[in-house]
Structure 1
Amino acid sequence: MAKSSQKKLETEGVAVLGLGRFGSAVVESLTALGHEVLGIDSDGTKVQHWADHLTQVAQADCTDIEALRQLGVDQFKHVVVSVSRDLEASVLTVLALQELEIANIWARATSKRHGLILERTGAHRIVYPETSMGDRVAHLVTGRMIDFIKFDDGFAIASTAAPEHLHDKTLADADVHKRFGVNIVGLKRHKVKFIYAKPETVVHADDILIVGGQADQVETFAASTGEDR
């Protein structure tokens, strides 16, 4: 039986099943963005931690379809599954959500095999937080990028210091797409609002550039930060 600490529940919000490290990070980001969140976990300590911060938080078995139904999970369009590293529990939770006909199920996986099973079970999107973070850190540690995000198709967006060979040039003159295969989509300048890239935009020495392109091309461009061209 589910034990619940309820406030007003908005069904257009997001339900997060599992309030461990990953689930808590998702909850914190969702609430910071102003979304209503239902948090569920079988651990009473974790539930108590979030009791004063969420629209609704409940202690329940996330694999129990009737408990989820009683808590109104079936009214949510978006549900995130983060029920620890237990493969069986995560699969049974996704199956329960499928039974409840949830339109958009996001599930955390700890391996490609785990993700494949969740996908075949009915999860619509698979998240690999450890793998994604490992890849991101590897790019940041070995390169000159400030931040790096890579998508499934190999496309990447990164922020990097403006290379010396671009200083005081317009983006049209720099023509980084021809030279590197990337596009500069914007610039961040100290105490200035985000600048959307235009052909006439002039690059300053202390600018941070937001660059998009295939991951290897973005890496090559970021590496040119230390070169004099």
Structure 2
Amino acid sequence: MADRLHPVVVIGLGRFGTALATGLIEQGGEVLAVDSSPAVVQRLSGQLGQVVTADATDVDALRELGVQDFDRAVVAIGTHQHASILVTSLLDELGVESIWAKALDRQHARILRRVGAHHVVLPEEEMGSRVAHLVSGEVSDYLRVSDDWVLATARPPQDLVGVPLGESGLRRRHRVTVVSVKPAGSAEFTYTDATTVLGYGDEILLAGRTADVDRYVRSL
């Protein structure tokens, strides 16, 4: 049996926060959703279940909600940078072990990290980067998994086709790795190893540092 998901506090119920809270609930998680707008809370009460109106910039209000008993929290506040920074610092003060925060830009992200955020996401920037790669036609999908590590799917170049991956020198020459392949005609990816031989119609999943993967896919 899978471990039960950790309960999560989601503060800020704009489009990002609402989608996040809904996704956690759909996965079977327990969510305490918080927003300062009574109208927003009323609108979402049937959708999110445990959703309350509170001023999350007030540490006493957070204590009354029992936020200090949660080990995971997400600060999903939209356009109010000062509020998101203050709430993040209060969550850190309350001892929340894992704090995720939405940032509007890189400067905002740096401040959030300084005041206690353990993970910072920039949804607009990350989506823009992903769409740019898709629109360019270089890759069929692109996912940033950390500040400097990405996964990308693409068709194999000619120099990889018909050669066992272990003999291709791909990692040595380009510092990227083919970690999975979806053979032509198949609906599923499968693991690769040194003996895997790729075909022209295959789709490969590449992993590596952002600059290395970007450089490699541009050469395809």
TM band (smaller chain): 0.7 to 0.9
Paired residues of 2:8 and 2:30 also in contact (CA < 8 A):
yes
In the alignment, what sits opposite 1:4? none
Equivalence map 1:135-214=2 (5 Å): 135-150=129-144, 152=146, 154-189=148-183, 190-214=185-209
Equivalence map 1:29-40=2 (5 Å): 29-40=23-34
Q: Distance in 1 between matches of 2:91 and 2:210?
A: 35
Equivalence map 1:93-172=2 (5 Å): 93-150=87-144, 152=146, 154-172=148-166
User: Which of 6, 16, 34 in structure 1 is aligned with 2:10?
Assistant: 16
Paired residues of 1:168 and 1:204 also in contact (CA < 8 A):
yes
Q: Sequence identity of aligned pairs in percent?
A: 38
Quote how far apart the aligned CAs of 1:192 are.
4.3
More displaced 10-residue stretch of structure 1: 187-196 or 11-20:
187-196
In the alignment, what sits opposite 1:223? 218
Deviation sequence 1:141-185 (CA, Å, 0-9, x none): 335112223355533221112224433433234332233221100
Q: Distance in 1 between matches of 2:189 and 2:5?
A: 34
Quote how far apart the aligned CAs of 1:139 are.
2.9
Does residue 1:58 correspond to 2:52, yes or no?
A: yes
More displaced 10-residue stretch of structure 1: 186-195 or 66-75:
186-195
Q: Distance in 2 between matches of 1:15 and 1:177?
A: 41
TM-score, normalising length from structure 1? Answer: 0.82
Q: Distance in 2 between matches of 1:49 and 1:24?
A: 11
Secondary structure in structure 2 of the residue aligned to 1:84: coil
Q: Distance in 1 between matches of 2:94 and 2:146?
A: 29
Superposed structure 1 runs of 4+ greater than 4 Å apart: none
Q: Which amino acid aligns with 2:208?
A: G
Secondary structure in structure 1 of the residue aligned to 2:204: strand
Paired residues of 2:22 and 2:48 also in contact (CA < 8 A):
no
Contiguous gaps of at least 5 residues in structure 1: 1-9
Contiguous gaps of at least 5 residues in structure 2: none
Q: Distance in 2 between matches of 1:120 and 1:215?
A: 24
Q: Which amino acid aligns with 1:64?
A: D
TM-score, normalising length from structure 2? Answer: 0.84
Structure 1 residues 109 and 143, CA gap change in structure 2 (3 angstroms): same
Q: Distance in 2 between matches of 1:150 and 1:44?
A: 35
Q: Distance in 1 between matches of 2:103 and 2:214?
A: 27
Structure 1 residues 122 and 179, CA gap change in structure 2 (3 angstroms): closer
